[in-house]
A = this chain, B = another copy of it.
Amino acid sequence: MSFSLPAHAVLKGPNFIREVFERGAGIPGFISFGIGNPAPEAIPVKDIQAAFDAVVHDKPMELLQYGPMMGDDHLREQTLQRLLTKRHMPKEGQALLLSIGAGQDLGLVPRTVCQAGDEVYMDAYTFTSAINAVRNVGAVPVSIAMDQDGMIPEDLEKAAQSGKGKYIYLIPNFQNPTGITMSLERRQAIYEIASEYDLFIYEDDPYGEIRFTADEVPTFKSFDKENRVLYAGSYSKTLSAGLRVGFLYGPAEVIGAIQVLKNNCDGQMPLVTQRVVSHLLDTIDYDKQIAKVARVYQEKWKVMKDTYDQYGSSKVTFTNPTGGMFVWMTMPDGVDSKAFFEDCMQHKVGIVPGAAFATDGSLTSQSFRLSYTFPDLESIRTGMEVVAKLTRAYC
């Protein structure tokens, strides 16, 4: 038959992240700073296996039939309690839904709240899937300039004056791809603009608890007096990405509408993985587990940075992540960043071109995202020495 798929289904830019992955796969000795996988040594494998053993042999029939549409009650309650007590979020007027990772929320939110033509305000560089999910519903991702504190409020306000805005998408903590954490003042300024133009704030916070320092910047949700913040969180980075358990917390009316959409169009999520997470929260010291993840990531970031400082050009700038998984390196203007990227690949080190994350779809960028979480320390040293020495050849 003659295929006539609509533009939203076939128009897609190059997938740089996948390209790095695919070109590196199978090459012996290839070191990838490309993928955002958690550190394997920080996954509590034995605890998770024990949780499966317990959950699968306790009330199996509940796991094997259709389950509750809202997900596992106990996990919902555990998640809610943590948001209230540890993250100081408001309770009244809120609801929580469990999702197949926070990744599923990326699609659910625009599908529910947007109509074609609505604008969504996003960091100039942000999580690729968040951009694509907005495009897919015919809404328009609008690129807002960033500085070292994240999204620039003045630029946001200029865009919001169109009156077409629906929400602001933000990863305020250890942003993907830049590693930037937005300051409290900046958060407050953006909240005020959201208030003035009646926008939702979609606060995506999958790494928010993986902090290298004691300082915690309050979440948008924690000071959400006007109930306009949808807060997405995840157990993927703190326990296991493969379990696919995340959540969305926000205005009860909106969460209710999203839940209906999810029930109708996405089917249910498996109960067994939810119960495993729930069992872990009941049986392990979750705060200690998070601290362990943070310690592992912090050490890896330090090795990456120290190695760069030893061998790299001082003309290249780096962000300074205080948590999370990513750092953003930027080459000086005039450097041929495409050639630099190819040279890194030739030397068997994968980094991700910044264009992969460009909200405006631009195909060039002087920046690269590096993830320091997955490779072991020795690979980080080896790979970063290669990258660093190459910067000296180019800058």
Contact = CB atoms under 8 A, between A and B. Distances in A.
Interface of A: 1-6, 8-10, 12, 35, 37-38, 40, 43, 45, 48-49, 52-53, 56-57, 60-67, 99-104, 106-107, 111-116, 128-129, 132-133, 136, 138, 195, 198, 200, 226-228, 240-244, 246, 251, 253-254, 257-258, 260-261, 263-273
9 closest cross-chain pairs (CB), A and B: A103-B267, A107-B265, A132-B264, A64-B240, A133-B265, A64-B242, A1-B228, A52-B56, A101-B267
Contact of A64 (B43, B111, B116, B254): B43
A278 to B, nearest CB: 15
B66 A45 contact: no
A52 B254 CA distance: 36
Contacts of A6: 113-115
Contacts of A10: 257
Contacts of A67: 242
A211 to B, nearest CB: 22
Contact of A113 (B5, B106, B242): B5
A253 B243 CA distance: 29
Contacts of A266: 100, 103-104, 107, 266
Given A49-B60, A53-B56, A257-B10, A243 B267 contact: no
Contacts of A64: 43, 45, 48, 240-243
A225 to B, nearest CB: 10
A317 to B, nearest CB: 29
Given A3-B254, A111-B136, A261-B136, A61 B45 contact: yes
B112 A253 contact: no
B1 A198 contact: yes
Contacts of A56: 49, 52-53, 56
A3 B242 contact: no
Contacts of A132: 264-265
Contacts of A57: 49
A276 B2 CA distance: 38
Contact of A242 (B38, B66, B251): B66
Most central of A1, A10, A49 by chain B CB within 10 Å: A1
Given A6-B115, A228-B1, A265-B107, A242 B254 contact: no
B273 A270 contact: yes
A309 to B, nearest CB: 30
Contacts of A257: 5, 9-10
Nearest to A109: B265
A92 to B, nearest CB: 15
Contacts of A9: 112-113, 257-258, 260-261
A27 B214 CA distance: 52
Contacts of A138: 116
A106 B262 CA distance: 11
Nearest to A132: B264
Contacts of A49: 56-57, 60
A121 B270 CA distance: 31
A103 B3 contact: no
A251 B3 contact: yes
Contacts of A133: 264-265
A287 B209 CA distance: 48
